[in-house]
Amino acid sequence: MPRLDDHLWRGPCAKGTKHRSHPRASARGLVAKAGEMINSSGSGPSLLAAHGALGTDAAHGPQSAGVGGQGSSGHVNSWHHHLVQRSLVLFSVGVVLALVLNLLQVQRNVTLFPDEVIATIFSSAWWVPPCCGTAAAVVGLLYPCIDSHLGEPHKFKREWASVMRCVAVFVGINHASAKLDFANNVQLSLTLAALSLGLWWTFDRSRSGLGLGITIAFLATLITQLLVYNGVYQYTSPDFLYIRSWLPCIFFSGGVTVGNIGRQLAMGVPEKPHSD
């Protein structure tokens, strides 16, 4: 017969064994049932994956859209910032050139202003520097814009050293128009025309530059004729209606020079954003 101490020792151990084996059996049963459910339903994982992907896209969609909007806004602001900077630089260049070159013309009595409109700034009319500065800003911004529109980027001698030499040649042409003495204005006009074309060929050589230079020379000459006709100022010894015949050459070479400055300033500037 079993002894009492056997029951006392075996009873608790047996019960503990039963209690310990029961959770293990339950866990194995749950795992088996879960495996059967997954195997029986093949579309379950794909649906879960699709749901997760949709959740991820929904979560990241607005964020990516926000980043794109911020990038587009920053691009627009950067483009406008560069545009304002280039305009100010070109305006300053036009003012300086107008003061220096117009002073030369006035001192040589080529250009005459009425006494009542002359200001103290280099013996010139007060409106000459701002008008020339505005014209320089428009021309300097127009040249790279036309190049971009035509799809013909200007790549000939794109460095500041070449631009500075172009400015020096332009100043020399203007200086020659005031100080060189020829038998008649026709010879002077032909000489300055050859120098102006040589400036374009040396520093530009683009069809857009040639076309814009001719257009600028025509419009500037027409405006000058109207100003002289209305008595704003006058030229001594006019031989081309109310002005000198060599004046269109000065306008042509000035347009090419300012256009090269504008092109150089436009290098590295972000492209204009397109509105959708």
CA dist 106 → 44, 98, 128, 208 (Å): 91, 11, 12, 33
Q: What is the pLDDT of residue 182?
A: 77
Q: What is the pLDDT of residue 5?
A: 47
Q: What is the pLDDT of residue 216?
A: 95
Cα 128 from Cα 126, distance rounded (Å): 6
Higher pLDDT, 261 or 46: 261
Q: Which residues contact 148 (CB under 8 A, 6 or more apart)?
A: 271, 272
Tens of pLDDT, residue by residue over 52-105, are: 443 444 444 444 444 455 556 766 777 688 889 999 999 999 999 988 888 778
Q: 84 by DSSP, 3-state: which? A: helix
Q: What is the pLDDT of residue 66?
A: 47
Asked whether the predicted pLDDT for residue 273 surpasses 70, the reply is: no
Please report, for the chain, the start and end positions of each structural domain, with discontinuous segments joined by +: 79-268
Q: What is the pLDDT of residue 181?
A: 75
Average pLDDT over all residues of the chain? 75
Q: Are 173 and 167 in contact (CB under 8 A)?
A: no
Q: Which residues contact 273 (CB under 8 A, 6 or more apart)?
A: 72, 75, 76, 79
Tens of pLDDT, residue by residue over 126-170, are: 788 899 999 999 999 999 999 888 877 777 777 889 999 999 999
Q: Is this structure's pTM higher than 0.85?
A: no
Say if residue 122 is exposed, middle or buried (CB neighbours under 10 Å; 0-12, 13-18, 19+): middle
- Phi first, then psi, for residue 234 (nearest 5°) are -150, 165
Confidence of residue 272 (pLDDT cuts 50, 70, 90): low
Q: Are 176 and 195 in contact (CB under 8 A)?
A: yes
